[in-house]
Amino acid sequence: MIKKLLSCVREYKLPTILTPIFVMGEVVMEVLIPLIMADLIDKGFYGESMEAIWHYGIILILAAILALAFGALSGIFAAKAGAGFGKNLRHDLFYRVQGFSFKNIDKFSTASLVTRLTTDVTNVQNVFAGAIRVALRAPLMLIFSLVMGFRIHQKLALIFLVLVPFIGTGLIMLAKKIHPLMEAVFHRYDDLNAVVEENVSGIRLVKSYANEELEKEKFGKVSKDIYDGFTRAEKLLALNMPIMQLGTYICILLISWLGARIIVLTNSVELTTGLLQSLITYGIQLLGSVMMLSFMFVMATISKASIDRVLEVLDEESDIQNPKNPVMEVKDGSIEFDNVGFSYVGDKKKECLKNINLKIKSGETIGILGGTGSGKSSLVNLIPRLYDTTSGTIKVGGKDVKEYDLVALRDAVAVVLQKNVLFSGTIAENIRWGDLTASDKEVERVCKLAQADEFIQGFPDKYDTHIEQGGTNVSGGQKQRLCIARALLKKPKILILDDSTSAVDTKTDSLIRKAFKEEIPNITKLIIAQRVASVQDADKIIVMDNGKINGFGTHEELLKNNQIYKEVYESQTKGDVSENG
With CA atoms as reference, report the closest residue to 454 among 505, 420, 417, 502: 505
Give kind and range of the element (H or E) at residue 527: strand 524-528
> Contact, 274 vs 37, CB < 8 A?
yes
How far, in whole angstroms, is CA 249 from its chain's centroid?
Answer: 45
At 335, is the secondary structure helix, strand, or coil?
strand
**CATH number for the domain formed by residue range(s) 2-315:** 1.20.1560.10
Mean pLDDT, range 548-558, rounded to an integer: 89
Q: What ranges do the domains of the chain cover?
A: 2-315, 335-419+493-580
- Is residue 326 scored above 80 in pLDDT? yes
Q: For residue 46, give the DSSP letter.
A: T
The set of residues, in sequence order, having a beta carbon less than 8 Å from that of 451 and lying 6+ positions away, is: 481, 504, 508, 511, 512, 515
Q: What percent of the chain has pLDDT over 90?
A: 7
- The answer to whether the beta carbons of residues 142 and 288 sit under 8 Å apart is no
Number of C-alpha atoms within 13 angstroms, CB side, residue 300? Answer: 15
Q: How many CA atoms lie within 13 A of 53 on its CB side?
A: 7
Rounded average pLDDT over 406-434: 84
Buried b (16+ CB within 10 A) or exposed e, 147-174: ebbbebbeebbebbeebbeebbebbeeb
Statement: residue 581 has pLDDT above 50: no
Residue 474: pLDDT band (50, 70, 90) is: confident
Distances (CA, A) of 386 to 11, 20, 249, 354, 417: 34, 47, 65, 18, 12
Read off the pLDDT band of 580 (50, 70, 90): very low
Spelled out in words, what is the top-level CATH class assigned to the domain 335-419+493-580?
alpha beta
Question: Is 80 exceeded by the pLDDT of residue 446?
Answer: yes
C-beta atoms surrounding 327 within 10 Å: 17
Residue 264: count other Cβ atoms within 10 Å of its Cβ: 10
Q: Global pTM? A: 0.69
Kindly state the DSSP code that residue 433 receives in the 8-state scheme: T
Highest mean pLDDT among 186-200, 385-399, 495-509: 385-399
Query: What percent of the chain lies above the pLDDT cut of 70?
Result: 97
pLDDT digits (tens, 9 = 90+) for 165-217: 877 777 777 777 777 777 777 777 777 877 887 777 677 677 777 777 888 88
Between CA 152 and CA 142 the distance in angstroms is 15
Give me the pLDDT at residue 498, please. Answer: 83
pLDDT in tens, 264-299: 888 877 888 888 888 888 888 887 787 777 777 767
